[in-house]
Amino acid sequence: MSRTHSLSKGLFTALPILLAGAVPAFAHGHGHAGQQAMADLIDAQGQTKGKATIRQGKDGIEVDVKAVGLPAGVHAVHVHTTGTCTGPDFTSAGGHWNPEKKQHGHDNPAGAHMGDMPNMTVGSDGTGELRTVIKGGMLAGGATPLLDADGAAVVVHAAADDYKSDPTGNAGGRLACGVIKAE
Protein backbone atom coordinates (compact mmCIF):
# COMPACT_ATOMS: atom_id res chain seq x y z
CA MET A 1 0.00 0.00 0.00
CA SER A 2 1.39 3.40 -0.93
CA ARG A 3 2.01 6.08 1.69
CA THR A 4 -0.55 8.40 -0.02
CA HIS A 5 -3.25 5.72 0.00
CA SER A 6 -2.56 4.99 3.69
CA LEU A 7 -2.77 8.73 4.57
CA SER A 8 -6.02 9.14 2.60
CA LYS A 9 -7.56 6.10 4.28
CA GLY A 10 -6.62 7.46 7.74
CA LEU A 11 -8.10 10.87 6.92
CA PHE A 12 -11.39 9.37 5.69
CA THR A 13 -11.59 7.25 8.83
CA ALA A 14 -11.01 10.29 11.10
CA LEU A 15 -13.27 12.69 9.19
CA PRO A 16 -16.61 11.41 10.60
CA ILE A 17 -15.20 11.65 14.13
CA LEU A 18 -14.04 15.24 13.55
CA LEU A 19 -17.39 16.24 12.05
CA ALA A 20 -19.33 14.65 14.93
CA GLY A 21 -17.43 16.88 17.34
CA ALA A 22 -18.51 19.97 15.39
CA VAL A 23 -22.24 19.18 15.43
CA PRO A 24 -23.02 20.27 19.05
CA ALA A 25 -21.79 23.81 18.34
CA PHE A 26 -24.44 24.20 15.64
CA ALA A 27 -27.24 22.19 17.28
CA HIS A 28 -28.94 25.35 18.59
CA GLY A 29 -28.95 27.10 15.24
CA HIS A 30 -25.89 29.24 15.97
CA GLY A 31 -22.45 28.91 17.51
CA HIS A 32 -23.12 31.17 20.53
CA ALA A 33 -25.47 29.00 22.60
CA GLY A 34 -24.16 28.55 26.11
CA GLN A 35 -22.36 31.91 26.31
CA GLN A 36 -22.86 33.47 29.71
CA ALA A 37 -22.47 36.84 31.38
CA MET A 38 -23.11 38.22 34.88
CA ALA A 39 -24.04 41.56 36.42
CA ASP A 40 -23.63 42.35 40.12
CA LEU A 41 -26.39 44.81 41.03
CA ILE A 42 -25.41 47.68 43.35
CA ASP A 43 -27.29 50.66 44.76
CA ALA A 44 -26.16 54.31 44.87
CA GLN A 45 -24.10 53.60 48.01
CA GLY A 46 -22.32 50.66 46.38
CA GLN A 47 -24.20 48.06 48.43
CA THR A 48 -24.99 44.72 46.79
CA LYS A 49 -28.61 44.45 45.68
CA GLY A 50 -28.50 41.22 43.74
CA LYS A 51 -27.19 39.51 40.66
CA ALA A 52 -28.28 38.97 37.08
CA THR A 53 -27.23 35.91 35.13
CA ILE A 54 -27.45 36.28 31.38
CA ARG A 55 -27.10 33.31 29.01
CA GLN A 56 -27.35 32.86 25.27
CA GLY A 57 -30.16 30.42 24.61
CA LYS A 58 -31.58 29.03 21.39
CA ASP A 59 -34.49 31.52 21.35
CA GLY A 60 -32.59 34.57 22.58
CA ILE A 61 -30.96 35.93 25.72
CA GLU A 62 -32.10 34.23 28.93
CA VAL A 63 -32.09 36.61 31.90
CA ASP A 64 -32.37 35.60 35.57
CA VAL A 65 -32.37 38.46 38.08
CA LYS A 66 -32.21 37.75 41.82
CA ALA A 67 -32.60 40.88 43.93
CA VAL A 68 -32.06 41.49 47.66
CA GLY A 69 -32.50 44.49 49.93
CA LEU A 70 -34.92 46.37 47.67
CA PRO A 71 -38.11 48.17 48.70
CA ALA A 72 -41.21 45.95 48.56
CA GLY A 73 -43.37 46.46 45.49
CA VAL A 74 -43.31 46.10 41.73
CA HIS A 75 -40.17 47.30 39.93
CA ALA A 76 -39.29 47.67 36.26
CA VAL A 77 -36.14 45.85 35.14
CA HIS A 78 -34.47 46.82 31.86
CA VAL A 79 -31.29 46.16 29.92
CA HIS A 80 -29.57 49.49 29.23
CA THR A 81 -27.20 50.38 26.40
CA THR A 82 -23.98 51.24 28.23
CA GLY A 83 -21.90 49.10 30.57
CA THR A 84 -21.34 51.83 33.17
CA CYS A 85 -23.06 52.17 36.56
CA THR A 86 -22.01 55.48 38.09
CA GLY A 87 -24.12 56.50 41.10
CA PRO A 88 -26.07 57.99 42.51
CA ASP A 89 -28.56 58.04 39.59
CA PHE A 90 -26.96 55.50 37.19
CA THR A 91 -27.79 57.64 34.15
CA SER A 92 -24.36 56.58 32.87
CA ALA A 93 -26.04 53.29 31.82
CA GLY A 94 -27.82 55.19 29.03
CA GLY A 95 -31.28 54.36 27.69
CA HIS A 96 -32.89 50.99 27.08
CA TRP A 97 -31.18 48.57 24.71
CA ASN A 98 -33.06 49.22 21.47
CA PRO A 99 -31.16 48.00 18.40
CA GLU A 100 -34.37 47.75 16.35
CA LYS A 101 -35.28 51.43 17.01
CA LYS A 102 -38.77 50.66 18.35
CA GLN A 103 -40.80 52.54 20.96
CA HIS A 104 -40.97 51.40 24.57
CA GLY A 105 -43.26 48.73 25.91
CA HIS A 106 -44.81 45.39 25.11
CA ASP A 107 -48.27 47.03 25.06
CA ASN A 108 -47.14 49.78 22.68
CA PRO A 109 -48.09 48.95 19.05
CA ALA A 110 -44.75 50.48 17.96
CA GLY A 111 -42.74 48.61 20.63
CA ALA A 112 -40.91 47.07 22.32
CA HIS A 113 -37.24 47.77 23.01
CA MET A 114 -35.16 44.60 23.24
CA GLY A 115 -34.16 45.79 26.72
CA ASP A 116 -37.78 45.91 27.92
CA MET A 117 -38.43 43.07 30.36
CA PRO A 118 -41.36 42.15 32.63
CA ASN A 119 -41.74 43.81 36.02
CA MET A 120 -40.28 42.13 39.09
CA THR A 121 -42.25 41.86 42.33
CA VAL A 122 -40.19 42.37 45.48
CA GLY A 123 -41.64 40.92 48.68
CA SER A 124 -41.71 42.41 52.16
CA ASP A 125 -38.40 40.64 52.83
CA GLY A 126 -36.74 42.74 50.10
CA THR A 127 -36.18 39.85 47.69
CA GLY A 128 -37.45 39.35 44.18
CA GLU A 129 -36.72 37.23 41.14
CA LEU A 130 -37.32 37.69 37.44
CA ARG A 131 -36.76 35.11 34.72
CA THR A 132 -37.36 36.03 31.11
CA VAL A 133 -36.08 35.59 27.57
CA ILE A 134 -35.21 38.48 25.28
CA LYS A 135 -36.47 36.86 22.06
CA GLY A 136 -33.99 37.05 19.21
CA GLY A 137 -31.33 38.79 21.31
CA MET A 138 -27.66 37.88 20.93
CA LEU A 139 -25.01 38.32 23.61
CA ALA A 140 -22.28 38.36 20.99
CA GLY A 141 -22.18 38.09 17.23
CA GLY A 142 -24.91 39.05 14.84
CA ALA A 143 -25.70 42.55 13.63
CA THR A 144 -26.61 44.03 17.05
CA PRO A 145 -24.99 42.13 19.92
CA LEU A 146 -25.75 43.12 23.51
CA LEU A 147 -22.08 42.99 24.47
CA ASP A 148 -20.84 45.56 21.97
CA ALA A 149 -17.90 47.96 22.38
CA ASP A 150 -19.50 50.03 25.18
CA GLY A 151 -21.12 47.08 26.95
CA ALA A 152 -24.53 47.00 28.64
CA ALA A 153 -26.11 47.09 32.10
CA VAL A 154 -29.12 45.70 33.96
CA VAL A 155 -31.09 48.38 35.83
CA VAL A 156 -33.80 47.95 38.48
CA HIS A 157 -36.15 50.95 38.63
CA ALA A 158 -38.09 52.50 41.52
CA ALA A 159 -41.55 51.95 40.00
CA ALA A 160 -43.38 49.46 37.80
CA ASP A 161 -43.14 49.68 34.02
CA ASP A 162 -46.51 50.60 32.46
CA TYR A 163 -45.43 48.72 29.30
CA LYS A 164 -46.49 51.52 26.93
CA SER A 165 -45.10 55.00 27.72
CA ASP A 166 -42.15 55.87 25.52
CA PRO A 167 -39.23 56.01 26.21
CA THR A 168 -39.11 54.55 29.76
CA GLY A 169 -42.50 53.12 30.73
CA ASN A 170 -42.82 55.66 33.59
CA ALA A 171 -40.53 53.36 35.58
CA GLY A 172 -39.13 56.08 37.82
CA GLY A 173 -35.60 56.46 39.11
CA ARG A 174 -32.88 53.85 38.99
CA LEU A 175 -32.49 51.92 42.28
CA ALA A 176 -29.80 49.44 41.30
CA CYS A 177 -27.45 48.89 38.38
CA GLY A 178 -25.10 46.12 37.29
CA VAL A 179 -22.56 46.11 34.46
CA ILE A 180 -22.96 42.99 32.30
CA LYS A 181 -19.64 41.17 32.05
CA ALA A 182 -18.96 38.15 29.86
CA GLU A 183 -17.67 35.11 31.70
The per-residue pLDDT for range 20-75, each reduced to its tens digit, is 333 333 233 344 556 899 999 999 999 999 999 999 999 999 999 999 999 999 99
pTM greater than 0.75 (yes/no): yes
Positions marked catalytic: 78, 80, 96, 104, 113, 116, 157, 174
Domain with CATH 2.60.40.200 in the chain: 36-182
Going by C-alpha positions, the residue among 150, 154, 2, 145 that lies closest to residue 63 is 154
pLDDT (tens digit per residue) in 160-169: 988 777 777 6
> Is 2.60.40.200 the CATH number for 36-182?
yes
